[in-house]
Copies of this chain bind each other. A is one copy, B any other.
Amino acid sequence: MAALTLRTAAAASIALVSACASSEPSPSPSPVKSLSELLAASSPSEWRRLDPDNTLYMELPSGRVVIELAPAFAPRAVANVKALVRQEYFDGLAIVRVQDNYVAQWGDPDEKRSLGDAAKTLPPEWTRAATPDLVFDGLPDRDTYAPQTGFSGGFPAARDPASQRAWLVHCYATVGVGRDNADDSGTGAELYAVIGNAPRLLDRNITVVGRVVQGVELLSTLPRGAAALGFYEKPAQRTPIRQVRLERDVPDADRVKIELLRTDSATFRSIIEARRFRRDDWYKVPAGAVDVCNVPLPVRAIQGVR
């Protein structure tokens, strides 16, 4: 039975001990609900579709990477990326850097292409005001890096009550705006996606512009660059970007048919608790906690479509 190893651990059964957070793991096994059971019991209203005006398709030779943009946290950077996309700035550029356990990064390796109408500098959007209108569904457990962590509109996020600031955090699949040393040097013409352990040290130092919601494995499986910091030594080693398009500009027939579980839904809260107190035939010792980058963000095919 060794080949079954870890199978149960990964997906088949997630323990749901309690819908209420407690600080200690339950001392005895309790009824089990798996992630798939929780999702099967969800209601249609708990799912949301991507906003075509804030979704990018990056077409690689291996397939499509779908990126959800986060205008609530980086309105200017999102607008600039969209301006670049609409003037087809990224088409024919390349993934220039893949550093193991860190990031895949893309843009213009020669830095010669005109940014056209897009801004050449942008003020930092590393954090934003934690205003009352900001949705923030907090996690109960302590985090190494932030006073509070949670989710905001589908994105892993953090908040500091003292400074009244909030920000998106760097988890696997987070997409950010590369910049040089100057605070205002990130325009969105160079972007990166996290492909390794959550590099939380980047939080509040760079503008997070969204996250990959489908196809991140097309980036994480790319050959690592052998030059410093994972840059490729030879141009031929780079992965070409066929094109990047805003979903709004893609014919409906060519759009992805996915929906995402709302992070302010009851089912999502149940998933968080099932992770914190995971106990099933395989899991013997529930962690009693979960960090913001270890909560699954479910995506599925739109129900009833095709």
Q: Which residues of A contact B (CB under 8 A)?
A: 1-11, 96, 99-103, 105, 107-109, 111, 126, 141-145, 171-173, 178-181, 183, 185-187, 189-190, 192, 196-206, 216-217, 220-224, 228-231, 275, 278, 281-285, 287, 289-291, 293-294
Q: How far is the CA of A280 from the CA of B216 in the complex (A)?
A: 30
9 shortest A-B CB distances, which residue pairs? A5-B178, A1-B180, A144-B291, A100-B217, A2-B190, A172-B197, A204-B285, A181-B281, A10-B229
B287–A145 touching, CB < 8 Å: yes
Kindly list chain B residues whose C-beta atoms are within 8 Å of the C-beta of A107.
2-3, 5
Chain B residue nearest to A101 (CB atoms) is B172
Closest-by-CB residue of B relative to A167 is B285
Q: How many subunits of this chain does the assembly comprise?
A: 2
Check if A145 sits within 8 Å of B3, measured CB to CB.
no
Closest beta carbon of chain B to A228's beta carbon, Å: 7
Query: 5 extra interchain contacts, Cβ-Cβ under 8 A, other than A11-B229, A196-B220, A220-B220?
Result: A5-B105, A101-B216, A144-B290, A196-B196, A205-B283
Report whether B294 and A199 are in contact in the complex, using a CB–CB cutoff of 8 Å.
yes
Smallest beta-carbon distance A214→chain B, Å: 11
